[in-house]
Every structure is written in C-alpha cells, then in structure tokens.
Chain A
Amino acid sequence: MTRILFSDKLDNCIAKWRSAGLTVIGPVQGESLSGYAAVEKAAGFEFGMVLPERPLKELFFPQTEPMLRYTIKKNEIDTTDFTAPQGKRIIFGARACDASGLAIDDPLFGWDYKDEYWFQRRNESVIVTIACTKADDFCMCTSLKLAPDSTKGSDVLLRPIDKNRGWLIEELTDRGREAFAIISDYLQESSEPAVPTVVVPEKFNLDACVTWLQNPENFDSKFWKEISMRCIGCASCTYLCPTCHCFDIQDEGDTYSGIRRKNWDSCSFALFTMHTSGHNPRSTQSARWRQRIMHKFNYFPGKFSVNSCSGCGRCSRQCPVDMGITETLQEISKL
C-alpha cells in the first residue's frame, strides 16, 4: 500500500500549504514562455509539458540579485546588506533533471565560501518532483546516469497514476515528510500502480567521453575548433542550464552610492576571461566551448565527484544554431 495524492484534492492541498505559510510554486505555462512560478490554485499548474523552458535554478540563483547598498562619505563607507528574501516554499512538480541540478550545485555554493543566498533558499524550499512519463528528442538524463524518476535533489518523488488522476507518494527526506504531514488529511492509501516512467534512450557513452576529456593530449585537439565553428557565442545554453552557476559582481550607481549586484555570467562571452591588460586566455569561441565541456565533465567532477550536467537538454533544445552538449559528446564518443 502506498499513499496517493489525487489531482482533485490538489486545490485543498495548495490551500493547506498556503495557510501553513508556504508559497506554492510549480510548472506554469505563461502566454509565451513556460517556467516555474507561484500559483494559488491547481488550475494554474501545467503538468503536461516535458519540462518548463526556464530552469528551476533561477528560483535559487536569480539572474540578478542585490547584495549590498553602499554610500561613500568623506571618511567612511556606509553599507547595508541585502539578504535573500525569507519565506518557505514548496516546489510542486519539479522535473528530476531540475531537482538534480540543485543537488549538483550544492557542493559548489558551499565549497570555500558558503553562499548564503543559495543555502537560505535551499533550506526553505521543499522539492516535490514528478517522475516523467514523456520526453522529447533532447532529453538525455539517462546518458548522465540519472533517470526520469531520479530522486537526486528531491524531498518527495511523485509517480503519476493513470489518466492524470493523481500521484503515488515517495517521501525521501524529513523536509518532504513534514510538508506532506500538513496535507495528510487529503491523502489516501491505495495499491494502484504508477504509470511507467518514460524510456529515455542513451545518447552517448559518458565514460568514454570522460576518458577522452581527461587525456591532456586532447586539450589541443582540432576537434574543438571543428565542433564549435558555428557557435555564435551567446549565453542561451549557460543561462538555461540547470547547473551553470557562474556569476559576476557589479557595482551599479555613481561615484558616491549604488548597489552591488550578483549577476549571471557566462563562459560563452569573450569578456568572461578578459584581463585588465587586454589579454584573453580564452580568446576564441572554440576555447570557450571547450571550457564549458571540460568544466562540466572533467574539472567539476574532479573537484566534487559529480558531473555538472543533469541531462535536461535545454542547451540543445534552445540553441540558435542547433549545437549543444548532446552533439558534442556524441561526436567525442566517435573519436
């Protein structure tokens, strides 16, 4: 026997969570773009999409975030810190790739400096993932040794039952159990089976790719120039990536006062590694694309023992010139 949350009880659950002080967030189809956003009613959710166009990471690591306000006076500088907005949230209907992305980035944001903005939001958010029953040509979680029902980064995993009538509940963490205790009145015991998760074909041999990337001789391979010839150097892939985490700190204001902000930054941009002297160690687009692949599958796992990719496929799905991690690793597999 497993507990089931029936879809027709979701409105009650949302009301219950909201009265317990939780903001309820989930997949929402906007007029021209889908993403994760707050809802008041279950009708606001759209569970039918493969995955939202915008990644879950932006709810934890927003594209621009104020850090402090500064005022420069004659003999001193006044500063006021901004902290991450307080408030508990439940993300209902995350995709496994998006939830995994958060877990992949945790060690990075807690490594030599503990990023309070990230961890405050992490600690205040319950991640309820719904296992995928459909995928598209770009999904590649299985190639990354993850799965459409991966539990990585999730507090609760839900498995859909037939005809979108509800979900079987697997509580994974205490945070998940607490959140579901709030709605326990609306849950039912049942032995109904879950709809099978979608089969996502494996697109490349990850181990073979990693071995190739780790070989120092391949750093200067002509492969990099060939594969990235059509890369136009925008940041679409990095900004939609659920694990890309680079940022830049900028002061906005005048000579005497302003706001220091933490903004997304991307290794695709020429300016990313530009030195004050004018020298740029990654002066070509091929060096920048190589960095992105090396970082995700060589340097990051070397430091944190996990690949910095969860297989969502957004990089390939959205690329204006139809590039992406899938194609690059498929080509490396053939070398």
Chain B
Amino acid sequence: MITQEKYRTTVKELLASGSVKMVIGYKPGSTPDRRRPLFIRTSEEADQLVLDSTCMTNLSGYLVTEGLLSDEKRVGIFLRPEGIRSINILAAEYQLNIEQIVILGFDSTGRDVRPLEGRNAGDFSGLLSEIKEKPVQTSKEPLLERIEKMNAQERFDFWQEEFSRCIKCYACRQACPMCYCRRCIVDSNQPQWINTSSHTLGNFEWNIVRAFHLSGRCVQCGNCDRACPVNIPLRLINQRMATEVLDGFDHFAGLSPTQEPVLASFKKDDTETFIL
C-alpha cells in the first residue's frame, strides 16, 4: 500500500510539472483479483492507480500505439524488470525514443510490492545485469520437466495436441510488446504466406513462426500465456528459445537500449558460414 500511495503522489507530480503527458499504469478490474491498464492524464485519474502483486500485465506494448510518442512528449509507465527489458528492445529496434520514457519501476515477491530505483532506462542496467547473471530461482514447472523427458516424436505429438486448440484469435500476438509489426506476416495476403485456417498445419505454421520471431527478443513477461483463451502453455516455448539464445550467443534480451538484436546483426569474424 505504501508503494502505491508514494507512486500516486509521484504520478501527480510528474503530470503537474508537465514532465510527462500521460502515465500508463493499472487500476482495479471487474473482479478483486483483476487489474486493468489505466491511462492517467489527470490528478483524479491518478487516484484510481493500483499497484500490487497482481499487476502482472507488461504494459510496454501501449508505448508503440500509433501517434502516442510522435509529439516527442514524455510518457510515464509502470514496468516490472521484464517490462524495462521490453522497452530497451523496442528502443534497440528503433520503435521508440528511450529518452521519452519515464520508468516507474516495481517488482514483487509474494504479495509484497516494492519500487525500483531510477526513472530512465539507463538507471536499471545494473539491475538487469544482475538478473542475467543470477536469474530468480523458481521451482521448475512440472509440465516443463515432462516435456524435457520426451523424445522428439513425443514432443511433436504434445505440441500438436496443444496447438490443436489454437483458434487463431492472435491474442498472443496482440498482447506481446514485441509484436509491433504494422502488418504481420500472417496478414500479408498477396500472396498469403501463412495459411489463415486454424487447422493443424495452419496452427503449427503460426506458432512456430512466432517462436522463431521472438527468439532473442522475448523477455518472458508472460503476456501471451495469460492472454491465450485456450490455455496453450506458450511461455514454455519462449522460455526454451531464450535459453537457447543465452547458451548459444550469450544474449540476454533487453539488457540495454543499444543492444544489438541477436538474429538481426552480423559480425565479419562470425565463425558461422551462414546467417539464419
């Protein structure tokens, strides 16, 4: 509660001084355990702000809403460490000017929520490096352990079963801060590169394209997994790809706003004779 009250005051000060034109945060949702994104432009709206451990949604995707940052004014946003990594990637991929973002950082352990020191992306580089070196130890998911024991055929069957539920609502794409493409490959229909049908093949095509596209870019904020209305464990795919990229390239996505994208950069002394 103390963190929330302090941040309400901070938001009011930021708006009153004109340092930001808007702050993106959370407000109560339709049931006690739900939170909604909130766009704060006035002091009254700041009174609706809620900040507690149930504020899970990574809000950074709203920053690339068409026109929001084009007036060069600053916008404040509540972000967990994963959200800070997201905006670093968006900056590295030239989707936003990091100078325009005022970070109101927070994190939580259990039900306790605490503020993170700093306002600019650069202030958090130490924290992010620490997270890279010492990832938070969470108990391994039983499902992940089950999958890791499977052979290739069993894994294929498992995912075929999971993807069979996909209805191609694209909630995973829309909820993802990294899915900012003006026209997604699946919406490019002249020619239609990817089947639009949500049959087995179409669902595989979509989910595998997404997995590769997010490799080295996903920060495991969990937005896609929480958004999926048919409960496909999408987090497991992205977690696995992040591990591959970390092991293979020592790349931890979103460390800084100037980090080179792992699958979109080229070095002349690269030992590989090809690029993906």
Contact = CB atoms under 8 A, between A and B. Distances in A.
A164 interface: no
B169 A266 contact: yes
Contacts of A235: 167-171
Given A137-B31, A264-B167, 11 more contacts: A63-B198, A64-B197, A64-B202, A229-B37, A230-B39, A236-B229, A239-B167, A250-B192, A250-B196, A269-B187, A316-B30
A320 B226 contact: yes
Interface of A: 32-33, 53-54, 63-64, 137-138, 229-230, 232-236, 238-240, 248, 250, 252, 261, 263-264, 266, 269-271, 316, 318, 320-324, 326-327
Contact of B229 (A53, A230, A269, A271): A53
B35 interface: yes
Contacts of B189: 271
B198 A234 contact: no
Nearest to B31: A137
B199 interface: yes
Contacts of B195: 250, 252
Q: Pick the most buried of A32, A33, A229, A321: most chain B CB atoms within 10 A of its CB.
A: A321
16 contacts: A32-B165, A33-B165, A54-B230, A230-B39, A232-B175, A234-B174, A234-B227, A235-B169, A239-B167, A248-B196, A252-B195, A264-B167, A269-B187, A321-B57, A323-B36, A324-B30
Contact of A232 (B36, B39, B61): B61
A33 B197 CA distance: 21
Given A322-B34, A326-B30, A327-B30, A263 B171 contact: no
A73 B35 CA distance: 58
Please tell me the size bucket of the interface on B: 35 or more
B197 A236 contact: no
A323 B57 CA distance: 14
Interface of B: 29-31, 34-37, 39, 57, 61-62, 165, 167-171, 173-175, 187, 189, 192, 195-199, 202, 223, 226-227, 229-231, 233
A63 B167 CA distance: 7
A280 to B, nearest CB: 12
A234 B57 CA distance: 15
Q: Pick the most buried of B187, B196, B223, B231: most chain A CB atoms within 10 A of its CB.
A: B196
A33 B198 contact: no
Contacts of A232: 61, 171, 174-175, 227
A278 B61 CA distance: 25
A64 B199 CA distance: 7
Contact of A322 (B35, B165, B171, B223): B35
A302 B139 CA distance: 55
A33 B231 contact: yes
Given A239-B229, A318-B229, A234 B197 contact: no
B37 A263 contact: no
Given A53-B229, A64-B197, A326-B30, A320 B223 contact: yes
In order of increasing CB-CB distance, the 7 nearest A-B pairs are A320-B227, A234-B171, A235-B169, A234-B174, A64-B197, A232-B174, A322-B29
A263 B196 contact: yes
A236 B226 CA distance: 12
Contacts of A234: 169-171, 173-175, 227
A49 to B, nearest CB: 14
B197 A320 contact: no
Given A232-B175, A320-B223, A137 B30 contact: yes
Contacts of A316: 30
B103 to A, nearest CB: 20
B197 A263 contact: yes
